[in-house]
Chain A
Amino acid sequence: MTVVRVVDIVPAERSDETDLNWQPSIAINPANPDEIVVSAYKEPPNNVGYSYSYDRGQTWQINFSEPGEQKDQSAGFGGSWELYWTVAFKPISGIATLHVLRTTNLSTAGPLPEIDTPRPEIDQPYAHVLTHGEPTPPDKDRLYVGYIDRSHNMGDSAIATVDVCLDARAAAPSFTQVPIEFRASFPLDGYEVRPAAHSDGKIYVAYKSWLSYNGSTVITDIVVVRDDNWGANGFVNLTDSIDSIPGLRVATHVHIKDSDTQLLGGQRLDNDLSIAVDPTNSATVYIVWGDNADRHYTLRMRRSIDCGNTWSGDLLTVANANLAGLAINSDGRIGFIYQELVAGLWETHFRRTIDNTGQNWDDLILARTATAGMVADYSRVIAVGKDFYGVFPAWNTPNPANFPATPPTPANPNGARFLRNTTKITPWQLLGSNGLSVAASVDPFFYMVQDESTPDPPTNLMGTVE
């Protein structure tokens, strides 16, 4: 039996909140999955903080440890229990400056220690951590932070870049900034720079090498680079057979409609690139992206079983969908999160492979919510052991009909678990601290999909699926 949990993570203390809480990301402590961190954009000012849970996502708190204003952020956990928090702070002038902070105490008062050199003029930091078992303890946290670097050409271009740190828990960690674009992109590389690490030292990074952009359509290559020595080789170990340049082009001349006037259910397109490597076999890699090759914007999943050298055709496609995220669990099972526009509503699907073909999947609908206004840019899923954990943004009307995978119970009449104040019968409404109705808005929703075989499921389960 699969156990499903869906939780609106806004705490009761912030029941009057009507912010746009979008662009969520998630980190799980691999040594203790009870510890979870979710980052999300909030309305400024004083919006630098992360949400954390000590009970596997049942209850949540927010730690506003840093002053200032953030524009984007993500976090990763090491097996050392260190949280690595990458924050794009708003500077006095410029776009954003990347700061990498760390802590082992999620409720600590800031400011947190900074372990990387600040990187100015960046966008969309994405943290990925893998803890490497050393022959002699302690193990080492490998930290990879993907972003696009605008500090070139007066900000008129942006280069896909990865900050590599081979021992992030060291007293004074050493970071190497590695540009991974080996061709000439124009006018910039795409916003998603997504690392995926394997315990044998192979590091894959997926990014989009834009070829052109006319204000409405991006034409781009979908590129994967690989480094076979933890990132120390400069990501040159996978070359394209056609031009012999590092970075294999999985797909070329992909067309994507990208502008704020070409939205899908209020959501901007072109932020759906995700990659995952099989922890049981570093040669097996899955990738997903979205494009407009067909009539509708469509997510495409493909696979390589030879370390990225060759790729399958489409194993799975989903039209009118975005917010794609991929992870692979300890059994080699794929988890796939996305939102699909169906009959004017956003359906948040979580699907897992049911065999090793990559073509047969189960399907859970975690949420079915409104499309009004801007909702999201991206979401994320992570596997720990056999289980999947993730976060997605959605409108937060607490109607149990909106959460099909977690049917209402007497103890939890809203279906999904809401920490903020809500009505428990119709009319389904959010309630403020004064008991009056609060307008709906976009919140981050944590979800957990626990494998059938995982022992000792957590308490207060939200729902089960046979």
Chain B
Amino acid sequence: MRNTRPEIQELVRDASLIFSGTVVELGASSVTNLAPRDNFAVVRVDNPLRFDPALGDLRRRMITVELLEQGELQPDKRVIFFTLNWIQGGGIAAREVAHVHAQQEDEVAAEVARLPERHLAERLASAILVLAAEVREIKPTPFDIRSRDAPQWATARFRNVEGLRGEPIENMVVLFPTSGRPMWARSPRLNKGQRGIFLLHRPPDWPPLPDVGPNLTSAVYTLLDPADVQPNSQRPLIEKLLSQRSIR
């Protein structure tokens, strides 16, 4: 069993289905069209900790877990499973990544609850500039005909700018997607007069950028991730995360 904190952080990040559960039967299957195997365990869910919301309330439901190792678990044993989604329909099956002692449930639940904060910390760590500002102006860029999946960038300019990390550049150009395509549906949208904290990143290799005129490309930044725009109420947390020497 794994139980160190960094490992739990890693497991929480990587596992798509995490739950505390009690082993009901070994070498069995609760899923239609999935024949029993020696490395299967049918597990009753006691407390779902991380799961796809489409699955609804998982409590007391049976999940067939493909175990990493046979022989480690016995019927009635209660542990916390870190698993990957596998089969949904005619029952639920999942593939084990790891399991830990049931006594660590509070710790695992706390790590799950910290996922949004960890994601914010990662975006802060990769940001070139972090600014508290007000959106002064929004302008569309020429329609990009190169792809249906083009972000259809708009540019934003700011005023009342305060640098929380890095110094704002006078002629910087900030780009954000306006396309309604699913690929960009979760990206932030800006409005004139909007105030907040903006996590500005270097443009990725793709999608291609629009012609931003005489501005230096080094002064071009993007807002792509939902976490890249934060309300001012998050400032204490952001300042705390920025002050940490190492953001995990």
Contacts and interface: CB of A to CB of B under 8 A. Distances in A.
B75 interface: no
The 4 closest A-B pairs by CB, nearest first: A433-B56, A61-B89, A11-B89, A17-B54
Given A41-B182, A61-B87, A107-B33, A433 B57 contact: yes
Interface stretch (A62-70, A329-337, A358-366): A62-70
Contact of B52 (A46, A54, A213, A215): A46
Given A46-B52, A109-B95, A154 B88 contact: no
Interface stretch (B2-10, B127-135, B162-170, B200-208): B200-208
B59 to A, nearest CB: 10
A260 B66 contact: no
A119 B178 CA distance: 28
Contacts of A371: none
A191 interface: yes
Contacts of B92: 13
Contacts of A18: 54
B93 to A, nearest CB: 8
Interface string A75-93: 0000000000000000001
Interface in B45-91: 52-57, 66, 84-91
A362 B205 CA distance: 51
Interface in A1-51: 11-20, 41, 43, 45-46, 49, 51
A91 B28 CA distance: 37
Contacts of B149: 95, 123
Chain B interface helix/strand/loop/mixed: loop
A168 interface: no
Contacts, number: 107
Given A93-B204, A93-B205, 12 more contacts: A11-B89, A15-B56, A16-B53, A20-B182, A49-B85, A61-B32, A61-B88, A64-B87, A158-B147, A187-B145, A188-B146, A260-B180
Contact of B147 (A49, A95, A107): A95
B119 to A, nearest CB: 12
Nearest to B35: A107
Given A59-B90, A65-B86, A156-B208, A433 B55 contact: yes
Given A20-B182, A61-B89, A61-B90, A13 B55 contact: yes
A214 interface: yes
A11 B88 contact: yes
A419 interface: yes
A60 interface: yes
A64 B95 CA distance: 10
Contacts of A61: 31-33, 87-90
A432 interface: yes
Contacts of B54: 14, 16-19
B181 interface: yes
Contact of A109 (B32, B86, B146): B86
Given A54-B33, A107-B33, A260-B181, A46 B88 contact: no
A344 interface: no
Contacts of B245: none
A154 B145 contact: no
A191 B208 contact: no
A13 B89 contact: yes
B66 A109 contact: yes
A62 B89 contact: yes
Given A95-B149, A109-B86, A123-B149, A59 B32 contact: yes
